[in-house]
Amino acid sequence: MKKLLCCACAAVLSLAAVSPCFAAAADSPWNGTWKENQAKSMLSGNTMTYTAKGAGQFHYSNGGSIEYDFACDGKAYPTISDRTVTCTGTAATGMDFIAAAHGTVLSKSHRTFSPDGKMMMIHGTSMRPDGTSYDFDETMKRLTGMRGLAGKWLNVKDKSTAANVMVMQVYNDMMHIEEPAQKEMIDAKLDGSDGKVNGPNIPPGAATTYKTDGANKLDFSIKLKGKVLYQGTYTLSPDGKSFVESEWVPGKMAEKDRVVYEKQ
């Protein structure tokens, strides 16, 4: 889950290294190490809105599950849980954003705007708990508004220099997932009940759910203090060599991320 809990599992763990209580069921097609194929994935297409509130303040909304207020005055503003955002600069000179959690910087980004104000370009770096980092580039197209940050934006390009890796195991009715670079670990029953999520950048109150939906499909959700932030599906290919993760904000199913994972 690339978006797991808004930018929140040591070297890739082999199946033999998994705790005995989560020894994988040998016949499960989900078992193994999966790596994102960025060329086949599509992370663009989602929308977000920045509303000017006066006195230099803005209100951010992703259209369903996340919204907060901030200003570009160099102060840290709360977003969700223990997350904060700090903004400096102006639309004319460029805007710098820092996303942090409990004092730890998660990402830094710089935003510039085209001369006609119709495009916003974002270049940034995300830091991971394993000590590595990766760059990302996003291009946003204006849907409403005239100039500056305020307006509704459509993500038309979303690229990064890092491919996500997940290690998955199924045992009876349990799902176990590790994302080595993020040092994240998920344990959940496949019945839709809240599972446990652990990791240095996981916000308090986070939970995930998984539920089988036929032989080759899993439905999932990402929650924070009971509120669903994202929901989606894993759909396994007929040959079991790849699966597609589709993820969207509740109420915005038409704006899906589509990430293709291939078995290693």
Q: How many domains does the chain have?
A: 2
Final residue in a domain of this structure, among 142, 160, 178: 160
Whether residue 139 is found in the same domain as residue 59: yes
Is residue 149, in this structure, part of any structural domain at all? yes
Whether residue 127 is found in the same domain as residue 181: no
Whether residue 85 is found in the same domain as residue 187: no
Is residue 10, in this structure, part of any structural domain at all? no
Tens of pLDDT along the chain (264 residues)? 444 444 432 222 222 233 333 444 558 999 999 999 999 999 999 999 999 999 999 999 999 999 999 999 999 999 999 999 999 999 999 999 999 998 899 999 999 999 999 999 999 999 999 889 999 999 999 999 999 999 999 999 999 999 999 999 998 899 999 999 999 999 999 999 999 999 999 999 999 999 999 989 999 999 999 999 999 999 999 999 999 999 999 999 999 999 999 999
Say if pTM beats, i.e. exceeds, 0.75. yes
Is residue 1, in this structure, part of any structural domain at all? no
Is residue 57, in this structure, part of any structural domain at all? yes
Domain at 131, CATH number: 2.40.128
User: Considering only CA atoms, which of 205, 207, 211, 226 is closest in space to residue 174?
Assistant: 211
Whether residue 167 is found in the same domain as residue 242: yes
Contact at 8 Å (CB) between 97 and 108?
yes
Whether residue 143 is found in the same domain as residue 191: no
Locate the DSSP E strands across 102-250.
Answer: 104-113, 119-127, 133-142, 151-160, 165-171, 174-179, 184-189, 196-198, 206-212, 217-224, 227-236, 242-248
Whether residue 176 is found in the same domain as residue 125: no
Strand pairing class (151-160; 119-127): unpaired
Whether residue 257 is found in the same domain as residue 167: yes
